[in-house]
Amino acid sequence: MRAFLTEAFDSPAKLQNIQMPIPSKGEVRIKIKACALNFADILMQKGTYQDTPELPFVGGLEISGVVDDLGPETDRPTIGARVAVFGGQGGFAEYGCFDANRMVVIPDNMSFEEAAAFQVAYGTSHVALNYRAKMQPGETLLVLGAAGGVGLTAIEVGKLMGARVIACARGAEKLEIARKAGADQLIDSDTQDLREEVLALGGADVVYDPIGGDLWKAAFRACKPDARLIPIGFAGGEVPQIPANHVMVKNLTILGVYWGAYLKFKPEVVTDSLRDLFDWYSQGKLKPHISHRFPLEDTAEALATLKARKSTGKVVVTMD
């Protein structure tokens, strides 16, 4: 089978022909149809991600496809089932073996591309806003990086939970995408002062931040007393330091969210969340935004597009 293989850190991965995997006990093999990209894929290639596999490895965390084979003592999901899985690796290939307990059967009206793009982005936003921040109707949600893969989902989920959403992104084009996703107010981080604009709108009850850096600092200063801040990533490249004295004085709460970790120590948080999200999708309340699609042989270009922030929503690699 063809696979996009990483053999050395911080050097280009290559499309190669490798042996097709055989599922072990508790695993199923998937004929992969699509794999959505995440910034974690870029960090894995550099060897700096917290869950980077040992070399050599096939990247690609977020996968959809059709069950093709079952391992010993494994009876679900059945062969032929349409599924999605957060595999942690192995998605940039034509076939892959994954833990059967992580499989989610996808709705009949959901495409494989949408299914691949759905889990991490929507799951992160729903777990962050519902399970962690316990956001309430009428609260003000500030979303940074609002036109990105997780940012757009935070807008959609926030609106469904009854929040007033302030979206912050770079440039009119990205802000228009955030508006179409449901944002109530828009802030251009290239031309406007984030702190001043948010304070003029009454301040933020919840901050959803996949960016970090200076935007985090400005959002931190634009919080209402008793606000909750959710760092979920640092796409801007800088991990900000948190001034504990300001956290204390304003009674702020910092809520870290790493969605994938729940699969290891509290998987019901993820499974319960995905059940709600797939139900919302089936009702037509959610619509994954995919800005770029690439064939497997162009995976390097797909990763470069994500790294350069040329995408909005999700970037997906397809196998057919």
Predicted confidence at residue 301, as pLDDT, reads 96
- CA–CA distance, 253 with 248 (Å, rounded to integer): 9
CATH, residue 144: 3.40.50.720
CATH, residue 91: 3.90.180.10
Same domain, residue pair 12 and 102: yes
Same domain, residue pair 269 and 169: no
**pLDDT tens profile 215-236:** 999 999 999 999 999 999 888 8
Total-model pTM: 0.84
Structure tokens at 150: 């997780």
Predicted confidence at residue 58, as pLDDT, reads 96
- CA–CA distance, 62 with 60 (Å, rounded to integer): 6
- Please check whether residue 303 lies inside any domain of the structure: yes
Same domain, residue pair 273 and 313: yes
- Please check whether residue 304 lies inside any domain of the structure: yes
- Please check whether residue 310 lies inside any domain of the structure: yes
Same domain, residue pair 87 and 176: no
Structure tokens at 106: 């996808």
Last-in-domain residue among 217, 238, 254: 254
Last-in-domain residue among 254, 271, 292: 254
Task: Categorize the per-residue pLDDT at 196 as very low, low, confident or very high, splitting at 50, 70 and 90.
Answer: very high
**Pairing, β 140-143 against β 164-169:** parallel
- CA–CA distance, 112 with 95 (Å, rounded to integer): 14
172 φ, ψ (degrees, to nearest 5): -65, -35
84 contacts 116 by C-beta, under 8 angstroms: yes
Same domain, residue pair 90 and 187: no
Last-in-domain residue among 204, 239, 254: 254
- Please check whether residue 126 lies inside any domain of the structure: no
**pLDDT tens profile 250-307:** 999 999 999 988 988 998 899 889 889 989 999 999 988 899 999 999 999 999 999 8
> Mean of the pLDDT values across residues 73-78?
91
Domain range holding 305? 2-118+261-318
Number of domains in the chain: 2
Same domain, residue pair 238 and 141: yes
> What is the DSSP-derived secondary structure letter of residue 47?
T
- Look at 40 and 79; give whichever has higher pLDDT: 79
Longest dimension (CA), the chain: 61
Q: Give the DSSP letter string of 67-135.
A: EEEE-TT---SPTT-EEEEE-SS--SBSEEEEEGGG-EEPPTT--HHHHHHHHHHHHHHHIIIIIIS--
- Please check whether residue 128 lies inside any domain of the structure: no
What is the sign of the dihedral through the CA atoms of 87, 119, 153 and 131? negative
- Please check whether residue 129 lies inside any domain of the structure: no
**pLDDT tens profile 96-141:** 999 998 888 998 889 999 999 999 999 999 999 999 999 999 999 9
Strand order from edge to edge, sheet including 164-169: 185-188, 164-169, 140-143, 204-209, 223-231, 253-254
